[in-house]
């Protein structure tokens, strides 16, 4: 008996030396789960010294939620021991000494030592593999969303372009109708020109969105007087406001900001344009307020407002609210977060406050860095 135990001890010692040369963590256990051998790689992987693991249960190296089931699986393997991967198709985790869970792959092998049966587990840390797979999934999801976005963008752009095209066709027919008087035909020609201008504006916006999406727009930041930018916006949109019987108000400002003046102006123009489009009576106000060291640029209107439950949804790609809702066109809602970042602006906020009677007013606000 003593000779046999001594022989088994010597065999275990030789086996331990052999296991220390392998690249993977290796742990050898008895049928009941008691750890009898641990190689150096297993010490490094789990953070335990070899002497602390020898004699303890293998379940010690498993997260609590797996321990009970693992005992049953160990018994099943003991009844039919053969070389195989453990938990094929399952996510396996080991538990380190400091409480971290690490994703692992495990291969099981029986080791016969006379009448004694041991089980060896080759354990490989697959954290890097899991991270790569996660990044690949994220990249694939981004690509899928981009493909879906392109399709929605085409649909939204087609919708926005169709209306002025159809109107221009009708006005051209009227302009060519010799049965109409000169004044009516001239009015039809003027309306056709406005339709063409609208189409040009939409096409320019679509081209700019494509550039932003492709990362081809590089911000050119500089310091400038915000009042000059506000004046340009007022001059460009005052005629449109007057045509609808609205008042476009611009609050005076002496602020100097640091931003990209072209991108910032386009962002403000987009909000002002949509405020005018969806406001039937009253006014649209463009102004700014101090917010600490930054400046909150705000656009107010007396339109139908936006329901509170829609405040988050309107920032999703190509969202349209109910007819008459005071929201920017679908093609531009999508680009605001990246557009704001490229313009040295941030924290875009939509608000809605009660006005007179049942009317509600909308407020768009975003921050610009002061000089």
Q: Could you tell me if residue 133 is inside a domain?
A: no
CATH label of the domain that carries residue 322: 3.30.565.10
Q: Is the model more confident about 360 or about 127? A: 127
Q: Could you tell me if residue 19 is inside a domain?
A: yes
- Tokens of residue 2, six digits: 């003593």
Q: Could you tell me if residue 130 is inside a domain?
A: no
* Torsion angles phi and psi, residue 94, rounded to 5: -105, 160
Q: Is the pLDDT of residue 356 over 50?
A: no
- Tokens of residue 330, six digits: 């679908």
Q: Which of 196, 216, 236 corresponds to the end of one domain? A: 216
Q: How far apart are CA 265 and CA 52, in angstroms?
A: 68
Q: Could you tell me if residue 132 is inside a domain?
A: no
Same domain? 152 vs 107:
no
pLDDT at 136: 92
pLDDT at 263: 80
Q: Is the pLDDT of residue 306 over 60?
A: yes
Same domain? 362 vs 288:
yes
Query: How is residue 369 annotated by DSSP?
Result: E
Q: What average pLDDT score do residues 121-145 get?
A: 90
Q: Is the model more confident about 196 or about 317? A: 196
- Tokens of residue 222, six digits: 């500089």
Q: Could you tell me if residue 91 is inside a domain?
A: yes
Q: Which of 133-137, 146-150, 176-180 has the highest mean pLDDT?
A: 133-137
pLDDT at 239: 85
Q: What average pLDDT score do residues 297-308 get?
A: 77
- Max Cα-Cα span within the chain: 123
pLDDT in tens, 186-239: 888 888 888 888 788 778 777 766 676 666 667 788 889 999 999 998 988 888
Which residues, in sequence order, are bridge partners of residue 198?
none
- Tokens of residue 119, six digits: 């089980």
Q: Could you tell me if residue 273 is inside a domain?
A: yes
Q: Is the pLDDT of residue 335 over 60?
A: no
- Tokens of residue 211, six digits: 């550039």
Same domain? 363 vs 224:
yes
pLDDT at 65: 92
Same domain? 356 vs 312:
yes
Q: What average pLDDT score do residues 160-172 get?
A: 82
Same domain? 252 vs 271:
yes
pLDDT at 108: 93
Q: Dump strand ranges (E) for the chain.
A: 25-29, 35-38, 84-85, 92-95, 101-113, 116-125, 222-225, 247-250, 256-259, 283-291, 294-301, 345-354, 360-369
Percent of the chain topping pLDDT 90? 25
HSE (side-chain half, CA atoms, 13 Å) at 43: 13
Pairing between β-strand 247-250 and β-strand 283-291 as defined by DSSP bridges: parallel
CATH label of the domain that carries residue 145: 1.10.287.130
* Range in 42-56, 150-164, 224-238, 307-321 with the lowest mean pLDDT: 307-321
pLDDT at 310: 64
Same domain? 297 vs 335:
yes
- Per-residue exposure over 350-364, b if at least 16 CB sit within 10 Å of its own CB, e if not: bebeebeeeebbbbb
- Burial of 212: CB neighbours in 10 Å, binned 0-12, 13-18, 19+: middle
The whole domain housing 52 covers 2-125
pLDDT in tens, 49-80: 999 999 999 999 999 999 988 888 888 888 88
The mean predicted confidence, pLDDT, of the chain is 78
Q: Is the pLDDT of residue 15 over 70?
A: no
Same domain? 145 vs 111:
no
Percent of the chain topping pLDDT 70? 73
DSSP string, 2-61: HHHHHHHHHHHHHHHHHHTTSSSEEEEE-TTSBEEEE-HHHHHHH---HHHHTTSBGGGG
Same domain? 25 vs 73:
yes
Q: Could you tell me if residue 134 is inside a domain?
A: no
Same domain? 60 vs 202:
no
Q: Is the model more confident about 5 or about 138? A: 138
Q: Is the model more confident about 188 or about 358? A: 188
Q: Which of 125, 151, 167 corresponds to the end of one domain? A: 125
Q: How far apart are CA 274 and CA 59, in angstroms?
A: 64
Same domain? 16 vs 59:
yes
- Of 87, 85, 81, 49, the closest CA to residue 66 belongs to 87
Q: Is the model more confident about 112 or about 106? A: 106
- Burial of 332: CB neighbours in 10 Å, binned 0-12, 13-18, 19+: buried
CATH label of the domain that carries residue 29: 3.30.450.20
Same domain? 204 vs 229:
no
Q: Could you tell me if residue 322 is inside a domain?
A: yes
- Tokens of residue 155, six digits: 């649909």
Same domain? 161 vs 240:
no
Please check whether residue 94 is in contact with residue 102, taking contact to mean a CB–CB distance below 8 angstroms.
yes
* Range in 44-48, 158-162, 178-182, 227-231 with the lowest mean pLDDT: 158-162
Number of structural domains in the chain: 3
Q: Which of 68, 96, 125 corresponds to the end of one domain? A: 125
Q: How confident is the model at residue 123 (pLDDT cuts 50, 70, 90)?
A: very high
pLDDT at 276: 86
Please check whether residue 181 is in contact with residue 167, taking contact to mean a CB–CB distance below 8 angstroms.
no
pLDDT at 58: 94
* Range in 216-225, 242-251, 271-280, 324-333 with the lowest mean pLDDT: 324-333
pLDDT at 315: 57
* Torsion angles phi and psi, residue 34, rounded to 5: -75, 130
Q: How far apart are CA 270 and CA 161, in angstroms?
A: 16
């Amino acid at each position: 008996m003593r000779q046999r135990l001594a022989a088994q001890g010597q065999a275990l010692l030789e086996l331990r030396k052999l296991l220390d040369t392998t690249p993977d963590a290796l742990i050898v256990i008895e049928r009941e789960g008691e750890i009898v051998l641990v190689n150096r790689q297993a010490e490094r992987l789990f953070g335990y010294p070899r002497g602390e693991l020898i004699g303890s249960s293998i379940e010690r190296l498993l997260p609590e939620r797996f321990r009970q089931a693992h005992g049953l699986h160990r018994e099943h393997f003991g009844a039919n021991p053969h070389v195989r991967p453990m938990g094929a198709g399952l996510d396996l985790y080991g538990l380190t000494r400091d409480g971290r869970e690490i994703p692992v792959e495990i291969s099981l092998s029986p080791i016969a030592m006379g009448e004694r049966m041991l089980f060896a587990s080759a354990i490989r840390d697959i954290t890097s593999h899991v991270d790569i797979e996660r990044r690949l999934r994220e990249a694939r999801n981004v690509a899928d969303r981009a493909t879906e976005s392109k399709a929605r963008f085409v649909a939204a752009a087609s919708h926005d372009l169709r209306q002025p095209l159809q109107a221009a066709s009708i006005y051209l027919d009227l302009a060519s109708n010799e049965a109409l008087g000169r004044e009516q035909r001239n009015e039809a020609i003027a309306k056709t020109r406005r339709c063409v201008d609208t189409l040009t504006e939409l096409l320019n916006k679509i081209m700019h969105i494509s550039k932003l999406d492709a990362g081809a727009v590089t911000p050119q930041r500089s310091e400038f007087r915000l009042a000059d930018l506000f004046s340009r916006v007022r001059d460009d949109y005052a005629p449109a406001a007057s045509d609808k019987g609205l008042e476009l108000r611009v609050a005076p400002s002496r602020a100097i900001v640091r931003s990209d003046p072209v991108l910032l102006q386009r962002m403000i123009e987009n909000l002002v344009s949509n405020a005018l489009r969806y406001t039937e009576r009253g006014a649209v106000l463009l102004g700014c307020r101090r917010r600490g060291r930054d400046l909150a640029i705000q656009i107010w209107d007396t339109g139908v407002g936006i329901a509170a439950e829609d405040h988050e949804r309107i920032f999703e790609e190509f969202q349209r609210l109910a007819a008459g809702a005071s929201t920017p066109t679908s093609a531009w809602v999508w680009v605001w977060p990246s557009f704001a970042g490229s313009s040295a602006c941030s924290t875009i906020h939509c608000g809605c406050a009660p006005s007179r009677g049942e009317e509600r007013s909308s407020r768009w606000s975003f921050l610009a860095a002061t000089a």
